Amino acid sequence: MHRHARTSSRLALLGAALVGLLSPLLVQPAQAAAPVYVALGDSYSSGTGTRSYIADGTSCQRSTSAYPSLIAAARGYALNFRACSGATIPDVTGTQLGALTSATTYVTISVGGNDAGFADVLTECALPWWASDCNGAIDGAQAYVNGSLPGQLATLYSSIRSRAPQAKVVVVGYPRIFQGEDCNALTWFSPEEEARLNQMADLINTRTQAAASSAGFSFANPTSAFIGHAVCDSPEWLNGLSNPISESYHPNVLGHSGGYTPVVSGAVGAALAVTGDVVAASEASGADQAALQRQYAAADRTIEPEVVEAPDLTTPEVRRAARKAGIDIDRFVERTTR
C-alpha cells in the first residue's frame, strides 16, 4: 500500500510538472488581427502620376508608391486598396463601398474633382486664350461645387458611416496644382488662369471639409504641404503635361511620399516619414494587393478614367478661333513652342 501511494504521488508530481511546462503553449492568446484599412476614392488616392502600377487587370492605376500603400506598409494595416482613377461619387458608391464592414478600422477617401469635371476644365484652360473659354469652364465647375457637391458628399459620407460604424474616417483634399508659371511646351495657362484654378481646388477643399465635419470625419488638407512643389516648381511634386497623358497634373512619387503621406497619416495618428524600409515593404505588398483587387476587376472596369487632353491647335474649331482673333496660327505655334 505504501509503495502504491509513493508511486501515485510521484506520478501526480510528474503530471503537474508537465502541465506546468505545456500550459504556456496551450493558453497562448491568439495574435491580434491587423487593423483593416480601406482606401476609397479617385486618382489622387490610387496613385496616378507615380508611373508604376500594380497588375490588377484594371485601368485604376493603383500604385505601391501611393499614400494608402505607404501608410499601410508603415503601420502594418491590412489594406483593401479600392481607390480608382476616374472615380466619381456614384462610382465610389457603386463599386467601392462594398469593401467596408463593421470590422473596418480606418477609411480614407478623396473624391469630388472628377464630379466637378476638373480634367475637362484643365483641358479647356490649357488652350491659348483666343481658343478657349477658361473662365466659363471654371464658372461652370464652381457652380457645381457650390450647388450640388455638398449634398452628394453628405449622402456618400452617411453611407460610409453606416457600413463602417466604428471606423476612423479621413477625407482627403486636393493640392493647388500651379504656382503662377507655365513652363510646359504646348500648354498656355496664363497666371490669371492658374490663380483661378488654384482657387477652384481651394473651393473643393472648403466644401469637402465642411461636409466631412458635419459627418464627424477628419479632413486632411494637403495644400500647405505642396507649396513650393507645384507644377514647374523645383522639386516638382505634381506632374505637368506628361507622356503618357494620364500622368498629367497628378502627384508623382515625391508628391505621395513627401506630401500626402505625412498629411494623411497625421490625420489618422502620428505623421509618418517615409523611409527606405517603408518603400520596400510597400513594394513587396504589390502582388498580394493586385490579387485582392482582381476580385473587383469587373466592377472597376466600368469606371472611365478622366484624362486631361493635350491642346490640339489643328482642329477646325481652333483654326476658326484663330482667324476670328486675327492670329496666324502657324506662326503662333512656331513662336511659342521654340
Residue 88 has pLDDT above 70, yes or no: yes
- Above 80 in pLDDT, residue 234? yes
Q: Which of 46, 250, 256, 265 is catalytic?
A: 250
Alpha-carbon gap, residue 262 to 270, rounded angstroms:
8
Q: Is 2 a catalytic residue?
A: no
Mean pLDDT of 49-71: 98
Does position 87 have pLDDT exceeding 70, yes or no? Answer: yes
Radius of gyration of the chain (CA): 26
Contacts of 329 (CB under 8 A, 6+ apart): 313, 318, 319, 322
Residue 25 pLDDT exceeds 50 = no
229 is catalytic: no
Domain map of the chain by residue range?
A: 32-309
183 contact partners, CB below 8 Å, separation of at least 6: 231, 232, 240
Query: Is 18's pLDDT higher than 60?
Result: no
Mean per-residue pLDDT, 92-113: 98
Would you say residue 21 has pLDDT above 50? no
Percent pLDDT > 70 in the chain is 90
Q: Say which of 43, 45, 69, 132 is annotated catalytic.
A: 43
Share of the chain above pLDDT 90, in %: 84
**What pLDDT score was predicted for residue 22?**
42
Nearest Cα neighbor of 259 from 169, 170, 173, 183 is: 173
Whether residue 91 has pLDDT greater than 50: yes
CATH architecture of 32-309: 3-Layer(aba) Sandwich (3.40)
Examine residue 29 and say whether the peptide bond preceding it is cis (omega within 30 degrees of 0). Answer: no
For 311-337, what is each residue's pLDDT tens digit? 999 999 999 999 999 998 888 877 776
Cα distance between residue 138 and residue 124, in whole Å: 9
Q: What is the pLDDT of residue 332?
A: 84
Fill in the DSSP letter of residue 294: H
Mean pLDDT, rounded, of the chain? 91
For residue 30, name the pLDDT band (cuts at 50, 70, 90): low
| Cα-Cα-Cα-Cα dihedral sign, residues 16, 17, 22, 26 | positive
pTM: 0.89
Tens-digit pLDDT profile for residues 174-214: 999 999 999 998 999 999 999 999 999 999 999 999 999 99
Residue 258 pLDDT level (bands cut at 50, 70, 90): very high
Nearest to 185 by CA among 124, 119, 123, 240: 240
Amino acid identity at 275:
T
